[in-house]
Amino acid sequence: MATILADNRNSFAILPDSPDLARALDEANVPTLLAAYVHMTHDAAFLDRFADHIRPAFSQPPTDIPEELADDLRARMRHLLTTGEGYQARPASDALLQRIMTVTVGEPVEDEFLELVEDQCGFRPYIDRSQMVGRKAPKADFKILVIGAGMTGMAAATKLREAGYNFVVIEKNADVGGTWYENRYPGVGVDTPSHFYSFSWEIWPDWQHYHPHGADMQKYMLATADKYGLRRDIRFNTKVEKLVWSDVDKVWTVTVQKADGTREDIVVNAVINGHGPVNRYQFPDIPGLDDFAGTLVHTANYPADLDLKGKRVAVIGTGASSAQLVGAIAPEVGQLTIYQRSKHWVLFNPELTHEVSEGMRWALANIPNYKEWFRFRVYWAAADGLYSNVVKDPAWEGNMTAVSQGNAMTREYALGYMQQRFADRPDLIEKLTPDFPIFSKRIILDNGWFDALARPNVHLEDQGIARILPNGIEAKDGSVFECDVIICATGFNVAKMIGNLTIKGIGGRDLGEEWGEDDPRSYLGMCVPGYPNYFHTVGPNSAPNHAAGQNMISECQVHWIIEALDRINEADANAFEVTQDAFDAWNRKVEERMPQMIWTHPGANSYYNNSKGRVFLSWPWRLVDFFHATRAPEDGSYRLLH
């Protein structure tokens, strides 16, 4: 029987000295192994031996740890795990955790990150409401409806249940997953590294790739739904159509359409809208599109049985979905023409195609604290570590294609990669090189995109489309590409954030009319005055467009919403409504900040901007700032309705 050593943050069973352990120690990331070892032993002095050999993530090289020092670490960890000798049962202090962070990422990690890391890396949840002493239990007849069972809806379901609330989730699809249930085109994948793009309470050791394929991501979502029993509170194949607030009864009447086409009204006290901004795909507005006689598809609704072998295929769009798709299909199609409307910066990350080795997966699954510290390392490199790229340096005097020295260096790296890959194709370099700063639009990660563009059966058309013909596409220069299949990789209607929902608030106010087609505004991306107990997640100016982190934004918003619901419950009130003053002040703060950000550069124009150029989507600060802003509703920012 295994001996268990435990405290509230460290616990492990003593492991047998096995070939699996030996292989895991050999293949494990050394700085992460160091973090896990010091966390368990509290041997801060051992950190000092590594401090001069670890540098920030984008340094070249990021580490130069001597092999004898790495071997010493492996031997110490092996002895600890197989004997328990040196294990410290008391929790690691904040000072030690901070020292571990600073040494293992090669740069200072300030106090403001401690709570975020402990919560988001799974060491200690910021709040577990099921364990809160003195918290008033929610009323059984106070019911919440959650729209959508994607990442945000699943987070809401998990935490609402933990908090003891009565709720139901309405999901239009047949299972959980949201965008990862729907997007199944060849090559579909995730920009965010696997070991960060997950729930903080369900850090998965089973990723097969360092960047998940779409099927990997959906597998995680399904496994999480199974583990937490989420499906019992979800009504599938049901679509929300309308929300109407009652000024008299202080409730929402939610009209849903069931699978059989009939409608039902559900009366609830609060609504959490988790249907997400990348849920409503759109076809391009091009003359003749409906007249095409061949096969017309969108990447977000890709037929599982579509056979492209030997076919003449046109792809409209050159964004992230197109780059993933083209890299996957180019080797099998007969001829492929890609129609480019706008250029995009491309970065190469070798990890994008790397599989997680068996030893590394074993370490993540079995070495205590290893997966948590690996998640921290990924967060630091792929999220807030990239923030400086999107902030304008007022003293920058370089060219107009960058906003700071660091941003210019990143641009040169991307440009150098492109020039190296297409050294013999100056025509492609000319077509692909953007004239705007890198990071002012979404970055493309190269996972076969450049390889595909260099193939003899692939042509990149940058003259624009004049019209769609029954047998193909006519470009603006008059050339015609006759094709069998047109695939639209043309994204989503992100700006119309309520989609086709009708939302009627106090006095019949209509949120669709107030936001219009592309001008949504809210408080913290969640609340709008006049719509009590309506919480719109992943809303205006809450997207982390500087880097990875949508999973964390979703968690933070769910946390804040439940805090708001608790305020209602504690006061025996009926509803929570953000004030007009708080709403106005927040939007002024965002507007004042945005001119300092790369997304307002004259050359930047993407789906982050609305038709008037306003940046409606992006959160203009770091993830750690969002974390602290969403710990609880600020006193004076809301009123409670009785």
Tokens 């292989």 found at: 23
The whole-number pLDDT of residue 126 equals: 85
Question: Is residue 1 very low, low, confident or very high in pLDDT (cuts 50, 70, 90)?
Answer: very low
CATH architecture entry for 289-344+441-488:
3-Layer(bba) Sandwich (3.50)
> Mean pLDDT throughout 281-297?
95
Q: What is the mean pLDDT of the chain?
A: 94
Residue 9 has pLDDT above 80, yes or no: no
pLDDT tens by residue, 565-578: 999 999 999 999 99
**Percent of all residues in the chain with a pLDDT value above 70, rounded to a whole number:** 98
> Mean pLDDT throughout 610-630?
96
Measure CA 124 to chain center.
Answer: 22
Residue 12 has pLDDT above 80, yes or no: no
Question: Is residue 6 very low, low, confident or very high in pLDDT (cuts 50, 70, 90)?
Answer: very low
Task: Judge contact between 317 and 341, C-beta under 8 A.
Answer: yes
Instruction: Please classify residue 596 by burial: count the beta carbons closer than 10 Å to its beta carbon, then call 0-12 exposed, 13-18 middle and 19+ buried.
Output: middle
Question: Is residue 10 very low, low, confident or very high in pLDDT (cuts 50, 70, 90)?
Answer: low
The Cβ of residue 547 has, within 10 Å, a number of other Cβ atoms equal to: 22
Nearest in space to 543 (alpha carbons), one of 437, 390, 323: 390
Tokens 């805090």 found at: 563
Task: Give the C-alpha separation, 175 to 335, whole Å.
Answer: 36
- Does the domain spanning 135-280+494-641 belong to CATH 3.40.50.2000? no
pLDDT tens by residue, 626-641: 999 999 999 999 999 9
Which two structure tokens, joined as six digits, stand for 273? 């809208």
> Mean pLDDT throughout 371-384?
93
Question: Is residue 278 very low, low, confident or very high in pLDDT (cuts 50, 70, 90)?
Answer: confident
pLDDT tens by residue, 578-609: 999 999 999 999 999 999 999 999 999 899 99
**Percent of all residues in the chain with a pLDDT value above 90, rounded to a whole number:** 89
CATH topology agreement for domains 135-280+494-641 and 289-344+441-488: yes
Question: Is residue 452 very low, low, confident or very high in pLDDT (cuts 50, 70, 90)?
Answer: very high
Which two structure tokens, joined as six digits, stand for 24? 């895991």
The whole-number pLDDT of residue 3 equals: 38
Q: Domain ranges for the chain, please list them.
A: 4-109+357-384, 135-280+494-641, 289-344+441-488
Residue 240, SS3? strand
Residue 640, SS3? strand
Question: Is residue 5 very low, low, confident or very high in pLDDT (cuts 50, 70, 90)?
Answer: very low
Task: Return all residues near 138 (Cβ < 8 A) that are at least 6 apart.
Answer: 163, 164, 165, 166, 565, 566, 569
pLDDT tens by residue, 142-181: 999 999 999 999 999 999 999 999 999 999 999 999 999 9
> Mean pLDDT throughout 320-342?
96
Exposure pattern of 283-300 as b/e (b: 16+ CB <10 Å)?
A: ebebeebeebebbbbbbb
